[in-house]
Amino acid sequence: MNHKELLEKMLLIRAFDEKVNELYAEGKVHGTAHFYVGQEAVAVGVISALREGDVITSTHRGHGHAIAFGLDIDRMAAELLGKASGYCHGKGGSMHIADVKAGMLGANGIVGGSMGIACGAGWAFRRRGEEKVAVCFFGDGAVQEGIFNEALNLAAIWDLPVVFVCENNQYAMSKSVKTAFDTDTLSGRASGYGMPGVTVDGMSLLEVHEVASEAAELARRGGGPTLIEAITYRYLGHSKSDANLYRTREEIQQWRKRDPIAHFASELEKRGELQKDEWRELEHAARERIEEAFEKASEQPEPEPESALEDVYA
C-alpha cells in the first residue's frame, strides 16, 4: 500500500467509529462498542507491516484493527446494526467481529484474552514451518492481567513468531497508566521475558510502521517475539457510556493537537505526495463510504428467530 492509501485507511477507521458513536446516540445500535478514534496510526502502522498469510488478534476496541486488516466495511456495518449479513449474522456485535479465514482471528471481549490465541497461531506457524507472523493487539490495562505473563513467557521460550502490540492509550477505563504502573515504560517489561521491548510514538504512522516491520521480520526469521508499546490516546470515552470524569478537556485537546491523521497528511504534503488540503477531500470520501455502508446495512434483513441457536457452538 502506498502512503496515500494508508492515510485513506486511517480516515475510514475514524469515519466508521464516529458514525457508530452517532448511531448509538440515536439509539440505532444496541449492545456496546468501544471507539478507536485517535489510535488509527497504531492499527494501520502495524498491519501495513504484515504480509499475506499473517494473522492478527484484536480487542474489545477492534474496529480499527478489522478495517486496517481489510475486513469488509459493509459486513461490519451490518453486524453493528444486528443484520443477518453481518460478520456474525447480526448476533455478535462489535466485540465478536472476526474473519478467521482471512486471518483476523477476532475482536475479544476478554481483556488480554487474545494473547493466548496469538501464541496458539504462532505455535501453529512454527510447527508447520511457515514463515508467518501473528500480531497481538492489547491495551495498557491488559498488561496487568495474568495471561500477559503466561503468554509472553511462552512466546519467548518457544521463540514464537508473535508481535505483541500494547496500545498505551493512557487509560484502562478510568484508570490512568500513571497510577497503574510505577515504571517509565510498559515495554520495559519485555526484558523480564528475554525479548526485545520498544516504545514508539503511536501517533506517528511511519514510526509505528518501522518498528512493527523490524519486529515482524525478526519473528519471521525465527528470532522470536517482540513487545511494542505504542503511546497513543483515545479521544472518545472508554465506550458509549462514559462521562469522561477522570480526565480534563484540556488534556484531550492537547492530544488532539498531535492527531495521527493530520500529522501524517502534513508529512505527505511536505514530501509532495499529497496536494495541500487534499486530505480533506479524502476525509469527505471516507465519510461518504461509511454513510453508504450503514445505509445499505439498514436495508438488510434481520436474522431469522429460528437462527438464534445457530453458530453458538463450534
Ligand X SMILES: Cc1ncc(C[n+]2csc(CCOP(=O)(O)OP(=O)(O)O)c2C)c(N)n1
Binding site for ligand X (CB under 6 A): 34, 60-61, 109-111, 139-142, 169, 171-173, 238
Name the minimum Å distance from CB 169 to ligand X. Answer: 5
Which C-beta is closer to ligand X: that of 109 or that of 223? Answer: 109
> In 10 A of CB 307, how many CB atoms?
13
Which C-beta is closer to ligand X: that of 78 or that of 104? Answer: 104
Task: Give the CB-nearest residue to ligand X.
Answer: 139
Name the minimum Å distance from CB 242 to ligand X. Answer: 10
Q: Angle, to 10 degrees, between the axis of helix 3-25 and the axis of helix 278-298?
A: 50
Name the minimum Å distance from CB 262 to ligand X. Answer: 22
Name the minimum Å distance from CB 39 to ligand X. Answer: 8
Ranges of H-type helices in the chain: 3-25, 40-47, 63-69, 73-80, 114-128, 146-157, 177-180, 205-220, 249-256, 260-270, 278-298
CA angle 99, 132, 106 (to 5 degrees): 25
Which C-beta is closer to ligand X: that of 218 or that of 231? Answer: 231
Name the minimum Å distance from CB 111 to ligand X. Answer: 4
Residues in the chain: 314
Which C-beta is closer to ligand X: that of 111 or that of 219? Answer: 111
- Going by the DSSP 8-state scheme, the letter that residue 140 receives in this structure is G
Name the minimum Å distance from CB 60 to ligand X. Answer: 5
58 in Cβ contact with 65 (< 8 Å): yes
Which C-beta is closer to ligand X: that of 38 or that of 103? Answer: 38
> In 10 A of CB 84, how many CB atoms?
15
Calpha distance 293→297 (Å, rounded): 6
